[in-house]
Structure 1
Amino acid sequence: QLGARIDGKVSQEVYDLRHEALASRVTTLETLRETDTERIVAPRRWLIASVIVPLVGILLPVVVLLVQGGGS
């Protein structure tokens, strides 16, 4: 019974402090999520820029030469 009465009489300052702490944690989590997103996107960009584009650059002329050579 005493615990219920104490819970009912918490001051506004305590609620304000808890709200500030939660807002700070949310901000931190949002920042971490943005950093994780960048970490996920960066390897994808590297894969496209350093593997896929050169492969297309090498294979496209070969395919064109084979198609033209087969037609004559």
Structure 2
Amino acid sequence: MAANQDIADKVKESNYHYVEDMKEHQDGLDVVLRVRQLDELLQWVLGRGAGVTVLEPESFRNEIREEAPKNLKRY
């Protein structure tokens, strides 16, 4: 997952238990999250909106793409 600077600061401060590794760079923060089931991360990622980008696995990227339009329909 890649996070923009605003979200990167929050992630660094949060001590989120799924965070396995972080690498800071000019555009934000790359974060490696380790979970047993990807469903554990779905709401966490969606809750950060356009401020994060799921880099891999591709199956999870696809799941995010499927969920986003569902959220738009509600509003």
Q: So what's the TM-score if we normalise by structure 1? A: 0.26
Higher strand share: 2
Structure number with higher relative contact order (C-alpha < 8 Å, ≥ 6 residues apart): 2
Q: So what's the TM-score if we normalise by structure 2? A: 0.25
Higher helix share: 1
